[in-house]
Every structure is written in C-alpha cells, then in structure tokens.
Amino acid sequence: TRTEFEAKAAESGAGATEAFRRKQRSGGAAVPAERVSAMARDALEAIHDVIRKHEMTYEEYDALKAWLIQVGEDGEWPLFLDVWVEHVVEDVNTSHRSGSKGSIEGPYYVPDAPALPHDGTIPMREDEPGTPLTWNGQVTSTDGSALGGATVELWHADSNGFYSQYAPGLPEWNLRGTFVTDEQGRFAIRTVQPAPYQIPTDGACGTLIAAADWHAWRPAHLHVKVSAPGHELLTAQLYFPGDPHNEDDIASAVKPELVLDPQDAGDGSVTVDYGFVLDPV
C-alpha cells in the first residue's frame, strides 16, 4: 500500500476535478449570454494585449497550447484556478461585508465531513504526527449576538502537508470535521498544526512554476466554512505567525486579519483563540 508521500499530481488533480463536478451537479447556475459575452470578450482582449506587449513567438504560442492541454490531462484546472485566480473572485464577492474577513476555498474542500459536538477532536490517526492544537472560539452576528447552532466546517493538511482524499494512504476523513456551536456560539476544537503546502511539482502547475522560476508554496493554513441561518456563508483560511510564506503565498490568500496568535501551552501543545463574525443576509 502507498503512503501520502507517494502522492501524484494527476491523482490529486483527478480527485479535485471529480469533487468540483459533484458540486456543479448539485447547483451550477446558467450564466446569462450578455455576461458570458462581456467577460469572454474582455478576457480574450486581455490575452491579445499580452501577446502584443511581449511579441509572443510561435514557439511560445505552441508551448502555451501544449501546457494548457496538459493542465486538463492532469486534472489541474481546479488547482490552477484556485491558486492564481480565485483570490480576486473572493475579493469582489465579499468586499461589502462588515464581519470577519474570508479567503479562498481552494480545491480540497469536501462537504459532509463527520459531525462533531461543539467541543470535540477532529478525526485523526492514532499516531497523528504534529503539534497538538486546541482552538477555542465563538461565532457571533455583526450585532454581537451569539450564534448557537452555527456550523464550523474545518479541513486542513496534516503535518506532512497532505490532504485526506487527495493523497493516498490517509483515512477518508482525516483532519476533516463539522463542529456545531453551543448556545453561546462557542466551539472548542482539538486538532494538530498543519504543515506548509507545496503545489505538486510533477503536474502542469508545477511545470509552470519551474518554467517561470517561481516557488510552489502556500503557508501552513486551516480552512473553514462557517455558516448560520440568516447569515452569509463565511469561507476563510487561518495562518500561523512566522511562516515564511505568509508574505509570498503562491495563492495570494493571506490577509493580516487571518493570522492566528497561538500560545504555547507548556506541554508541547499550542492553544489559540479565534472567533468569527457573520454578516446577516
């Protein structure tokens, strides 16, 4: 049997593509023709401008074509778009909010993770490596009222930087859970600190990164989706201070408001307090 260290770009890509197709089947909406026309025309014009500005050669055009074909073959469209495009979509769609800052969802969310009480341990292996992390927080509305029965979905990479369901050898729901707040809107979650995440180097996205001489790293992060009746869904990521990639995240998804302030508990574990303020719809 294979371990997470033998993860293949084309496998996690195929998984992310399949997960996205499932999500589309359960709610994809038709985009009106005027919107398609206006945005497609502007996108194509932006590409034409790049070609003119840089006087793209036929060799470069063919390299681009070959690379685009490879993105699809590796199933890496979800990864490519979420790393280099989604942050602007997130920005445009959340700028009206006065509650907590959010961030991008990324390609590795899976709905319906195991349900846990407001105070619980996320599913993990018997010998799960990494620094234990206890996270206490509260979910409130922008008027300050507590949101009991709110849902906090948490998913993150393990301390080797791999996500369950997208790397081999991990239990299906490892480090994925759905917590429900108590009457005061509070939750207390036990997990382990994730490691920084490296974009797979053996797929099309890795090819672009190497060809452009960029780096392939996202800082260590926790993903959450926080929801409550009558409130906008908050999708966010939380980061750890001192991570060298907080300043140059390949996915441009770090905001200062999303950096945690972990405290050393003195027993090899870390505690953190961080809550969420949701905007009413």
Nearer to Fe ion among residue 12 and residue 140 (C-beta): 12
**Subset of 104-143 contacting Fe ion (CB under 5 A):** 106
What DSSP assignment string belongs to the chain?
---GGG--HHHHHHHHHHHHHHHHHTT--PPPHHHHHHHHHHHHHHHHHHHHHHT--HHHHHHHHHHHHHHHHTT-HHHHHHHHTHHHHHHHHHTT--S-------S---SSPPEE-SEEEPP--TT--S-EEEEEEEEEETTS-B-TT-EEEEEE--TTS--TTSSTTS-TTTTEEEEE--TTSEEEEEEEPPPPEEPPTTSHHHHHHHHHT---EE--EEEEEEE-TTB--EEEEEE-TT-GGGSS-TT----GGGB---EE-SSS-EEEE--EEEPB-
Nearer to Fe ion among residue 78 and residue 106 (C-beta): 106
Question: Binding pattern to ligand MBD, positions 142-181, x when CB under 6 A?
Answer: ----------------------------------------
Q: How far is the CB of 251 from ligand MBD (least distance, A)?
A: 4
Identify what 224 binds: ligand MBD, Fe ion, none; CB under 5 to 8 Å per kind. Answer: none
Residue 107 binds ligand MBD, judged by CB under 6 A: yes
Question: Which residue among 80, 173, 187, 197 contacts ligand MBD (CB under 6 A)?
Answer: 197
Question: Binding pattern to ligand MBD, positions 54-83, x when CB under 6 A?
Answer: -------------------------x--xx
Question: Which residue among 124, 140, 193, 218 contacts ligand MBD (CB under 6 A)?
Answer: 218
Applying CB under 5 A, what is the total number of residues that bind Fe ion? Answer: 1
Contact set with Fe ion (CB under 5 A):
106
Contact set with ligand MBD (CB under 6 A):
79, 82-83, 104, 106-108, 197, 218, 251, 253
